[in-house]
Amino acid sequence: MSRAEATDIANDQGENMPILHLQMHPGRTDEQKRAFAREATKAAVETLACPPESVEILITEIAKDSWAVGGKLKSEA
């Protein structure tokens, strides 16, 4: 799909944009997060037929003492 076709599709869909929200523990480098954002954007463009400029990615880092699984904080593991 050309960039112009993707833009036309996005314009037809109005203001609808994909927003991807990734939650993870702290510790990834900026380069790792940058690479993830790049690849996730490519996947969204290919599967959702939207222009890259419409893809928003939020990366939230959550400390292990604020994340629990099975009733147990991850910091206790």
Give me the active site residues, please. 18
Counting Cα atoms < 13 Å in the Cβ hemisphere of 20 gives 17
d(CA 26, CA 47): 29
Q: Which two tokens stand for residue 23?
A: 């939650």
DSSP 8-class letter at 54: G
